[in-house]
Amino acid sequence: MHITQLNRECLLHLFSFLDKNSRKSLAKTCHKLLQVFQDPLLWSLLNFHSPAELKKDNFLLGPALKYLSICWYSERVKVCNIEDWMKNNLQKDFCSRHENNVSDFLLEVCNRCPKLLSLTLSGCGHVTDNCILLLLKSCPNLKTLKLENCVRITDQTLEAVARYGGSLQTLHVDFCRNITQTGLERIRETRPLLLLRAERSADMIPDTKPGKKLMFEKASRKLVQV
């Protein structure tokens, strides 16, 4: 039996074992397999390992998506984690190439994937509170939100969870240095049943604006002189 003689359900099952590139390659062989590739039911789960993958055409973003993961563990993530005002021109140029990739993609998710149940972001240093806020509003069924090493995430995201994350059961904000202990205590009070984890976040040194940093250094020098 030729693979194209299988019914739609069998083909969807076979495609489910392939990665995105393999699915795309197989879809190019005939029209029937292309239709399987374009079936939204095939794309309930999406995993990405770098912002660059979000620009490829080897996947389908649609209403069937329930589980989304964008995890970037490359050494280059360290550049994105540097405060913007501390980056040199080379580092700024590097970030400008992908700065909006994840945020723009999540905006598409907000528009196309209202049934999303789980979102994991790791190493996505350019994702902002506003982006997460919009996602919580657009995906009311979201049950799991895991954020790791997302340096622009602040207590505003915790406030958005308290206000709009009515279905949320699990929240991780690990290694997010601009999350404060005050924010964590507030979300624990307002959402006591929420499974909250914040490994190291409130213990890390938050971003400091240049003006505040200079004032802190001057005050430190005065104390040393005294």
Q: Is 94 exposed, middle or buried (0-12, 13-18, 19+ CB in 10 A)?
A: middle
- Contact between 187 and 162 (Cβ < 8 Å): yes
pLDDT band at 222 (very low <50, low <70, confident <90, very high): very low
Q: What is the pLDDT of residues 171-220, one digit of tens each?
A: 999 999 999 999 999 999 999 999 999 999 988 878 876 665 554 454 45
User: 72 near 51, Cβ under 8 Å?
Assistant: yes
Q: What is the DSSP letter of 48?
A: E
Would you say residue 223 has pLDDT above 50? no
DSSP letters for 156-214 = HHHHHHHHH-TT--EEEEET-TB--HHHHHHHHHH-TTSEEE-SSGGGSPPP--HHHHH
Contact criterion met (CB below 8 Å) for 109 and 160: no
> What pLDDT score does 226 carry?
44
Q: How confident is the model at residue 224 (pLDDT cuts 50, 70, 90)?
A: very low
Q: Under DSSP, is residue 85 helix (H, G, I), strand (E, B) or coil?
A: helix
What is the value of pTM for the model shown? 0.86
Extract the tokens encoding 148.
């790791």
**Using one digit for the tens of pLDDT, what is the confidence trace for 148-160?**
999 999 999 999 9
Question: Looking at residue 188, what is its pLDDT?
Answer: 96
Give the pLDDT of residue 75.
80
Q: What is the pLDDT of residue 209?
A: 63
Over residues 18-77, the pLDDT tens digits come to 999 999 999 999 999 999 999 999 999 999 999 989 999 999 999 999 999 999 988 878
Which tokens belong to 3?
A: 């693979």
Q: List the alpha helices (DSSP H) in the chain.
A: 8-15, 20-27, 31-37, 77-81, 89-96, 101-112, 129-138, 155-164, 181-190, 210-225
What one-letter code names the amino acid at 165? G
225 pLDDT above the threshold of 80: no
* pLDDT tier, 1 (very low <50, low <70, confident <90, very high otherwise): low
- Look at 79-93, 109-123, 174-188 and tell me which has the smallest mean pLDDT: 79-93
Sequence spans of domains, the chain: 1-42, 44-223
- Confidence band of 98 (pLDDT split at 50, 70, 90): confident
Mean pLDDT of all residues in 156-165: 97
pLDDT at 192: 95
CATH topology of domain 44-223: 3.80.10
List pLDDT tens digits, range 124-155: 999 999 999 999 999 999 999 999 999 999 99
| Alpha carbon distance 179, 173 (integer Å) | 8
